Chains A and B, each alone.
Chain A
Amino acid sequence: MLLQQIMNGVTIGMTYALIAVGYSLVFGILRLVNFSHGSVYAFGANSILFLISLNIGIIPAILIGILLTGILGVLIDKTALEPLRKKSAEGITSLITTIGVSSVITNLLIARLGSQKKAFPALFPTGEIIVGSIKFTYTQIGMLVISLALLICLLLIVERTKIGLAMRASEQNITAAKLMGINVNFVISFTFFLGGMSAAIAGTLVSSYYNMAYPNMGYTAGLKAFAAAVLGGIGSLPGSLLGGLVVGISESFAATVLGSEFRDSMAFIILICVLIIRPNGFLGKKSIKKV
C-alpha cells in the first residue's frame, strides 16, 4: 500500500518534472515566471489528440505535435516577450504578458476544439507487472522510462553541448554572455523550444495516463509543476526532477491519507514551508543580491 502510493506518486511526479523543466529553464535565464507554460502543455496534449484524429498514425501525430508545441514556445517568445526585452521593460509587464498569452492559447483551444474532456488513446498496452506487493502497469513503466530518458537528454544538452554552455552562460549573466558573443536571443528561443517540447511530451503521457485531454488541463498542472520547479531550486534540472517527485509523492499520499480535497494544495503547502526555510529551494544556488 505504502510502496504502491510512492510508485503512483513517482509516475505523476515525473511528468510534473517534465513540465517544471520549462519553467525552470526560462526562469533561470529571464527571471520570469512564464505563466503561459501551462497552456503550452495543454496545447501539446490537445494538438496531438487532434492530429491523431486526422488518422496520420499515432507516432507521426505525436512527433508532429511535439514539434508544433516547441515552435509555439518559440513563437510566444518571439512575438510577445522579445519585444519587451528589447525595451528592457519591467519584469511585471512580461509576467502580465504571459498571463495574456495563456488566456489566448487556452481560449483558442476551447473555441476550436470545445472545452469538454475528450478520450485520449492509451499509448501503452494494458497489463501489469507485480513485484512483491507493488503493481506496475505498463503505462506507469512507460511513463517512467520516457520521462527519465528525456530528463537525462535535457541534462546532457545543458551540461555537454555548446548551446547548453551558452544557456548556462546566459543564466549566469545575460549581459556578459552577450559581450562574449553569444546570441542570447537565439539561446532564449532554444530554451523555449526545449520547454515546449518537454511540456508536450508530459502532456501526452499524462493524457494517456488519465485517458483524456481538454483545453483547461494546463491550469492546475501548470501551477503545480511551477511549484515543483521552485521547490527543487529554479534553474536546476536535477532540482526540477526532485521537486516534481516530491510534489507527486506528497500528492499521492495526501489523496489517500487526508482525502482527495488536499491533493491540489499539497504542492503549495510544501513549497511555502521549504521557501521559508530555504529561500532558493532544495538545490537552488544562493543568489547574491547586488546593491
Chain B
Amino acid sequence: MKKVRFLLSMILIIAVAFGIVNSPAAADEAPIKIAVAAPLTGDNSEYGIGFYNAVTMMAESWNEKGGIQGRSIVVEQFDDKNSPEEGVSVANKIASDKDIRCVIGHFASGVCMAAAPTYQDYKIIEISPSASHPDYSGIGDFIFRNNTVIMHEAKASLDIAVNDLGKKNIGIISIKTDWGVSTAGIVKNLVEEMADSGATVVAHEEVIEGSDDYRPAITKLHDAGADVVICVGMYNLVAPVSRQYKEINPDIQIVGFSNSYSEELIKLGGESVEGVAFPVIFFSKSDDPKVQEFVANFKEKFGSEPSALTAQAYDSAGIYFTAVEKLGDEKDSDALRDEIANLTYDGVTGTTKFDENGDVQKSFTKVTIKNGEFVLLEDGASK
C-alpha cells in the first residue's frame, strides 16, 4: 500500500510539474516572433533585462501601429545566464521553434560566438547589440552586430586615458573571457602604436570574472606605478576594482568600456566610481529629440534610463521589423538576410548600416560619473 501510494504521489508531483510547464501561450493568427536571448538571471542580468525591455518597447510601438502587415509581434525571452554552454542550449531551443527567425542577443561575445554557429546553421538572423569581439561577425552571414568592433572602442578608451585624463602609465586589468583577452591584447597593441605620446603599459593583470577579491591584482598594478587603469570588464569588474583600488590609491583614474554604462555600476560602486570614464555610442542625456523621446518613454515604462547597450538592442529590433515590413513577411531567410544587410536604419543610436562583415561604424561620446550620475566627460572634467 505504502509503495503504491508513494508511486502515485511521485507520479502526481511529476504530472503537476509538467502541467505547470505545458500551459501554452494563447496563439492568435500567426504572430511574428522575435527572440531575446541574454542573461536574465545572474550578475549580468541588468544587461539582459535591458535588452528585453528595449525589444518589447520597440515591438509595442509597432503593434500600436497595427503590427507588420496586420500581424502582431510577440517577443520571447530566453535566459542564457551569460554562460556559453547555456547559450548553445538556448540557441538549440530557439532553432527548434520554426517561427522564430531573428534573435536579438546574446550579451557577452564569448556566448555570442558559442551560439552563433547554430543560428547560422538554421539560417536565423542574430543581431547582437553588444558583442564586440573581432571574430564574432565573421562566423557567418546571418550574424550581425549593432555595436562597434572593439578596436574602435579601445581606441576611444585610450583616447580618454591619454588625451583627456593626461595619464601615461597605463595599467590593464582584464577578465579572462574571449572578449577580455582579445580586448586586452588590442589595447596593448594600440598603446604600442601611440608610443610617441609617451604612454606605456606598465602592468597587465588577468582576473577571473565574478571573483570578489581583486586586491592581489590591484597591488601589482599599484606597485608597477599605474596612474590610470583600463578596466576590461563589465560593471561587476569596474565597480569592485574602483572601490578596492581607491583603498590604496584614492587618485587612481579608471577607464572602462561602453558596457560600464549601466545604473548598476553606480549602485554597486557608490562613491568609488566617481570619475570613472568610458566611451559610448549612445548617451541618454544627448539633446537629439529622437533620443529624448526614447529616453522619456523608456523611463516612464521601466523607471530607469536606458543604457547604451539597451538603446542598441532597441535599434536592433527596429532594424529587423523594418526589414520584415519591407519584405512583407519573414518566411524567406535569405531574402531577409539580404534586406537587413542592405538596410540603412535611422535610430536612436545614429544611422546604422551594416558593412560586408555585418559590423557597424558609429561615433563615440565620452561619458563619466559625477555626483552619482552619468555626465559628458567635458562637463564632468570642468569641476
Contacts and interface: CB of A to CB of B under 8 A. Distances in A.
Contact, chains A and B (beta carbon distance below 8 A): yes
Interface of A: 4, 8, 12, 110, 114-119, 126, 135, 137, 206, 210-212, 214, 217, 252, 255-256, 259-261, 263
Contacts of A217: 212
A255 B212 CA distance: 13
A114 B44 CA distance: 11
B41 A110 contact: yes
B89 interface: no
Contacts of B267: 118-119
Nearest to B248: A135
Given A117-B268, A210-B212, A210-B240, A126 B247 contact: yes
12 contacts: A4-B219, A114-B45, A115-B42, A117-B43, A135-B248, A137-B247, A206-B212, A211-B244, A214-B43, A255-B213, A256-B219, A256-B220
Contacts of B243: 211
Given A8-B215, A126-B247, A214-B43, 18 more contacts: A12-B213, A114-B41, A115-B42, A116-B45, A116-B236, A119-B267, A119-B270, A210-B213, A210-B240, A211-B243, A212-B240, A212-B268, A217-B212, A255-B213, A255-B216, A256-B220, A260-B208, A260-B217
Interface string B135-154: 00000000000000000000
Contacts of B44: 116
Interface string B268-290: 11100000000000000000000
Interface residues of B, number: 30
Contacts of A12: 213
A259 B269 CA distance: 25
B207 interface: yes
Contacts of B213: 12, 210, 255
A116 B215 contact: no
In this complex, the member of A137, A214, A252, A260 whose beta carbon has the largest number of chain B beta carbons within 10 angstroms is: A260
Nearest to B43: A116
B69 interface: no
A6 to B, nearest CB: 13
B223 to A, nearest CB: 8
Given A114-B45, A117-B268, A261 B208 contact: yes
A118 B212 contact: no
B208 A119 contact: no
B211 interface: yes
Closest 8 pairs (CB-CB, A-B): A255-B216, A210-B212, A256-B216, A119-B268, A115-B42, A115-B41, A116-B43, A211-B243
B240 A211 contact: yes
A252 B216 contact: yes
Contacts of B219: 4, 256
Contact of B46 (A116, A259, A260): A116
B264 interface: yes
Contacts of B269: 119
Contacts of A110: 41
